[in-house]
DNA sequence: CTGTGTGAATCAATTCACAGCT
DNA sequence: AGCTGTGAATTGATTCACACAG
């Protein structure tokens, strides 16, 4: 049971998976679940599951398993999902609009707290029933009702400047959809989602496979 | 210089980063670059950069650094980006449409080879100048001109079935935007992009930070 | 002298294996 | 008897430090 700062990143990522499959298990009326079952549902190993939980405490009953409902609330608490997190979308182009209307956000307890853009042609328009606001009002809005996370969906060239506006507004967590390595103060939490990097990863694997087959075939 | 199958995943992810910053370095007219400079631009360590390259060979000149143009073509070759990869988008909702029009794809050498959906209300419509086709025609299209990667942007409930259609069509690489753990044969390459998992990761870090401050403050 | 390439050393994450509860 | 919780062992990745080439 380590301190929070020392939890391995991969463990945190897996907590999300456990949370997801447990939510389904509960919907299906399951009341207890073993590490083996949880491992099967997530594609991980039972030892991994138990080790991951052990960083935070001991939640199971020996000989029985984990009480689904209780484990689920524990995970919710660890992940900070007890009350819905408020999310602002910065950059209301095609991608930003798509995310604003994504039902998976709401169903997982995230609340789209606002849409922001710096393009006067967009400001004031309705997108998925929400009015697009000037990114300049982000600081005031955040001061009024805090925003937990900003989602950055601006064009590449505007990414660094927009990220700085977000940080200056006082927001300290950022989900960056642009393929730009943002330079921000160290206290700001950033996660990157880079579609082109993922495509390049797949492309690498395809090439590697092709090379391996060439070698074997010839 | 290991065999391709044993290259660490993190190394592959970093190759994409090197590729990206090198492309910018070349646009800026730089002709040589050291591992230290490359490290600075990517936020990694010089040793990491050299080690990553060493898995594939030795591309630098001692005392000098790496020739930018040459290293760039080497990376392009390793990543399989010599000729543009053909990408099909499966599921033309908000997100799929947004990706179809994303300029970063084309600028990085990916070609959107087709848009597919199973909703008759969408099939035949134009999206970003491309006609939406029935997902049932994916197999024939792939047989005619091979598709390298399918991007899965269907609703959660349809993900597993759509993925199976993609695989049955003969496509072996898949970029999955749905928060579903796909069950597919082991020869199929899958990368997942899960926005809600990333938000949950950030939410965890925010909570952990709040807990740590509570403790220190009280 | 400078900066690469790489074995050796360190650090991190996963897996093993079993003691200990129910 | 069954399954958790956890140190110990192992596997994997990163960092170090230095021999070597230009």
3-class state of residue A162 by DSSP = helix
Query: Which residues does residue B131 pair with via DSSP β-bridges, in sequence order?
Result: B126
Question: By CA distance, what is B10's nearest residue in A?
Answer: A201
Q: How far is the CA of A15 from the C1' of C12 (A)?
A: 19
**Residue among A193, A170, A16, A164 nearest A96 (CA):** A193
- Closest CA-bearing residue to C1' of D14: B48
> Tokens 């898949």, residue?
B174
- For residue A74, say whether its CB is under 7 Å from any atom of strand D: no
Mutate to test the interface with B, among A6, A41, A80, A149 (most CBs of B within 10 A): A80
Taking every pair of Cα atoms in chain A, the longest distance, rounded to a whole number of angstroms, is: 68
User: Cβ(A150)–Cβ(A173) under 8 Å?
Assistant: yes
Whether any strand D atom is under 7 angstroms from the Cβ of A8: the reply reads no
> What is each CA distance from A113 to A140, A142, A144, A150, B192, in whole angstroms?
13, 10, 12, 10, 26
| Nearest residue to B4 via CA among A33, A127, A90, A209 | A209
Q: Which of A138, A150, A142, A146 is nearest to A99 (CA)?
A: A150
Length B6 CA → C3 C1' (Å): 27
User: Cβ of residue B86 near strand C, that is under 7 Å?
Assistant: no
Residue with tokens 């939980």: A53
The shortest CB-CB distance from A200 to any of B81, B93, B172 is to B81
Residue of A185, A195, A212, A216 to mutate when probing chain B, most B C-beta within 10 A:
A195
Q: Measured at the alpha carbon of residue A117, what is the angle toward residues A112 and A121, in degrees to the nearest 5? A: 125
Output the distance from B63 CA to D18 C1' rounded to whole Å: 15
Q: Across the interface, do A93 and B94 touch by the CB < 8 Å criterion?
A: no
Residues A152, A176 contacting (CB under 8 angstroms): yes
Tens digits of pLDDT across chain B (218 residues): 666 668 999 999 999 999 999 999 999 999 999 999 999 999 999 999 999 999 999 999 999 999 999 999 999 999 999 989 999 999 999 999 999 999 999 999 999 999 999 999 999 999 999 999 999 999 999 999 999 999 999 999 999 999 999 999 999 999 999 999 999 999 999 999 999 999 999 999 999 999 887 776 65
Considering all CA atoms of chain B, what is the largest pairwise distance in Å, rounded to the nearest integer?
A: 68
Q: What is the pLDDT along chain A (218 residues), one digit of tens a residue?
A: 666 668 999 999 999 999 999 999 999 999 999 999 999 999 999 999 999 999 999 999 999 999 999 999 999 999 999 989 999 999 999 999 999 999 999 999 999 999 999 999 999 999 999 999 999 999 999 999 999 999 999 999 999 999 999 999 999 999 999 999 999 999 999 999 999 999 999 999 999 999 887 776 65
Q: Round to a whole number and report the distance in Å from the CA of B162 to the C1' of C15.
A: 34
Closest CA to A108 of A9, A12, A177, A22: A22
Distance B64 CA to D19 C1' (A): 17
CA distances from A79 to A4, A20, B180, B197, B202 (A): 12, 12, 19, 10, 8
Mutate to test the interface with B, among A27, A57, A100, A202 (most CBs of B within 10 A): A202
Residue A214: predicted pLDDT: 74
Compute CA distances B44 → A7, A97, A192, B11, B35, whole Å: 21, 33, 16, 11, 10
State which nucleotides on strand D lie below 7 Å from a protein beta carbon: 1-7, 12-17, 20-22
A86 vs A19: CA distance, rounded Å: 19
SS3 B111: strand
Question: Do A178 and A154 form a contact (C-beta atoms < 8 A)?
Answer: yes
pLDDT in tens, A136-147: 999 999 999 999
- The CA-atom distances, in angstroms, between B79 and each of A147, B50, B180 are 39, 17, 27
CB B40 within 8 A of CB B12: no
Identify the closest residue of chain A to B92 by CA–CA distance: A98
CA dihedral B29, B34, B35, B36 (to 10 degrees): -100
Q: Is the pTM of this model over 0.85?
A: yes
Alpha carbon distances (Å) from A114 to A86, A99, A101, A149: 9, 12, 12, 11
* Residues of chain B found within 8 Å of residue A198, distances taken between Cβ atoms: 175, 191, 193
What dihedral do alpha carbons A141, A145, A148, A149 form, nearest 10°?
-20
Interacting residues of B137 by C-beta distance below 8 A, sequence separation 6+: B116
**Measured distance CA(A19)–CA(B200) in Å, rounded:** 10
């Amino acid at each position: 049971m380590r301190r929070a700062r020392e939890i391995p990143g991969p463990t945190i990522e897996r907590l999300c998976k456990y949370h997801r499959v447990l939510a389904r298990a509960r919907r299906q009326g399951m009341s207890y679940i073993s590490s083996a079952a949880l491992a099967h549902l997530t594609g991980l190993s039972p030892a991994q599951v138990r080790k991951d939980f052990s960083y935070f405490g001991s939640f199971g009953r020996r000989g029985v398993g984990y009480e689904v409902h209780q484990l689920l609330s524990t995970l919710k608490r660890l992940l900070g999902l007890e009350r819905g997190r408020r999310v602002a979308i910065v950059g209301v182009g095609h991608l930003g609009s798509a995310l604003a209307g994504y039902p998976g956000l709401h169903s997982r307890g995230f609340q789209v707290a606002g849409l922001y853009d710096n393009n006067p042609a967009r400001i004031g328009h309705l997108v998925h029933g929400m009015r697009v606001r000037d990114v300049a009002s982000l600081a005031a809005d955040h001061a009024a009702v805090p925003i937990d996370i900003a989602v950055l969906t601006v064009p590449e060239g505007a990414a660094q400047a927009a990220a700085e506006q977000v940080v200056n507004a006082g927001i300290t967590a950022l989900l960056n959809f642009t393929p730009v390595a943002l330079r921000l103060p160290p206290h700001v939490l950033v996660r990157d989602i880079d579609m082109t990097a993922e495509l390049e990863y797949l492309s690498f694997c395809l090439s590697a496979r092709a090379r391996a087959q060439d070698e074997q075939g010839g």
